[in-house]
Structure 1
Amino acid sequence: MRAFEALEKTAQLKELKEYGRVRATRSMALIGRDVVVETTDPADRNGLYQQQFLHLNCEPGFTAPQGYRFEKSMTEGCVLTNYEPDNKETFG
């Protein structure tokens, strides 16, 4: 899982540099216990958040609003969260 997170961090930082944000058209990987699920559907992600999956966010300075999960990841500079700024349906 540590290797996956490191690759995902590299991809996110590249997109932030090139586009100024992680592209919304890209699918998102949600991390569970020893499993990763990738989906482009916000409704699917909301269901996965209810099952305790979390999204890896490596944006420098990112914090989640109160009420959302916000946990340290295995990768320095990244966090695990159930908050997606562009997804108004995200569960807190």
Structure 2
Amino acid sequence: MRGGTYETITLEREVLEATDQRFSNRLKFIEQAARLYLRELRRAERDARDRALHEKYAEELNRQALETLEYSAYYNEEDPHEAR
């Protein structure tokens, strides 16, 4: 284990018993669980930011995509062999 600060925490007996039944090192398990949970929180925050950006710009991006498709369809109608 890396050096660090130590804290005393209180957990429900059933949580400790379930942990002890499955893992030989309680502290290592709790540290790993906390790290995984924090990683999931960061992922959820990133996903929320990504969704917000998508919602903010979705209309404009969709408009641009439609314009591109319309242009492509028009271009293909003029000379179907040139677009290939």
TM category, shorter = under 0.3
Q: TM-score, normalised by structure 2?
A: 0.22
Bigger RCO of structures 1 and 2 (CA < 8 A, at least 6 apart)? 1
In the superposition, the TM-score normalised over structure 1's length comes to 0.20
Give 1 or 2: higher helix fraction: 2
Task: Give 1 or 2 for the bigger CA radius of gyration.
Answer: 2
